[in-house]
Amino acid sequence: MNLFSPLDAVKGIGEKRKKLFSEKGMETLLDLLFFFPRGFKDYSRKITIAESLEHPGLCPVTVMTKPSVAYFGKRLNLVRCKVSDGETEAGLQFFNMPFMVRNMEKGDAIFLYGQAKTQDDKITFTNPGFERKNEFIGQYPFVPVYPQIPGISGRMVMNAVAAILDALTDEPDYMTDGFKRAFNLPDLYPAHRALHFPERLEDHSAALKRFSIEELLVFLSMLKEQLPAKKENAVRLTITPPQKSAFDKALGFAPTPAQARVMEEIARDLSSGLVMNRLIQGDVGCGKTAVAFYAMLMNYANGYQSVMMAPTEVLARQHNAKDSE
């Protein structure tokens, strides 16, 4: 097993779950490791029922009454029981989770994660996070909360990530020790673990910093690979004064000074004999499309074709209609 092994190399991921992960763009173990949590549940500090009225946290309680489930029509059901932390009693209810009646019994010691509220002068937890003793308590001080994947539970994702991290403890680190020291970056394996199961939230931030720098380095490497292409010979495109005048007339308005300047720069680039790689940045409505049409005209005037890409079909149709005019 390595970082590029398919996801079904992980125990518990069969063909069905593999397909569900694939629909979210995840094919390999590395893809899943870079499926970052959207947040964490703080299991590092326990709170009382009274404190849970002020802020969410991990609340150890005992089930005081036998859980019961009530059905209201075909689409609504409610599991209810009472819990206590030894000082304060509260109601516990789960909407549309009838299986919870089998997950608890009177006398069970459980952990709830969430914020209680007062309803009719009674303290109540509604659909809180639910853990049994020793399942995650003490193992993970901060439990990851992942973006939803239809058909895949957050716990399934967490278990799969944990299995990958347990199996790949000896992956080589491609950053040098000197580079990591210079930027105060963690090693590769601790960074992967801290992204999902940090001992401290500061460790998670340090891991994000490492992989952000890594992403930047990959991008810069790609740009470096493109440098030789910029020195390659390209077709020299020219535009005659009559053609330029016809374009200005077709616009129906005089180009702004900024548009005129950028058009001249593009004409200079396209006639240089070198590959042009240019980004035009500006506010919505500032006239970037007109400048793009000018570059396309230079291609057409020299017997070549151009392609304009748009983010939506509606916008593509609008550009086509405008170009046809």
Tens digit of pLDDT for each residue in 71-123?
A: 998 889 999 999 999 999 999 999 999 999 999 999 999 999 999 999 888 99
Predicted pLDDT of residue 232: 67
Instruction: Give, for 70, the enclosing helix (H) or strand (E).
Output: strand 68-72
Average pLDDT, the chain: 90
Task: Show the 3-state SS of 107-143.
Answer: CCEEEEEECCEEECCEEEEECCEEEECCCCCCCCCEE
| Distance, CA of 207 to CA of 186 (rounded, Å) | 7
Q: What is the CA radius of gyration of the chain?
A: 30
CATH class of the domain at 44-132: mainly beta
Predicted pLDDT of residue 234: 79
DSSP 7: G
Torsion of Cα atoms, 50 then 56 then 58 then 60, to 10°: 30
User: What are the residue ranges spanned by the domains of the chain?
Assistant: 1-41+144-231, 44-132, 241-324
| Distance, CA of 196 to CA of 257 (rounded, Å) | 51
pLDDT, average across residues 208-224:
91
| In the chain, % of residues over pLDDT 70 | 96
> For residue 324, what pLDDT band results from cuts at 50, 70 and 90?
low
| Distance, CA of 161 to CA of 145 (rounded, Å) | 12
pLDDT, tens digit, for every residue of 123-145?
A: 999 999 888 865 667 788 899 99
> For residue 63, what pLDDT band results from cuts at 50, 70 and 90?
very high
Strands 76-84 vs 57-63: parallel, antiparallel or unpaired: antiparallel
pLDDT, average across residues 247-274:
88
The predicted model scores a pTM of 0.65
**pLDDT at residue 149 tops 90:** yes
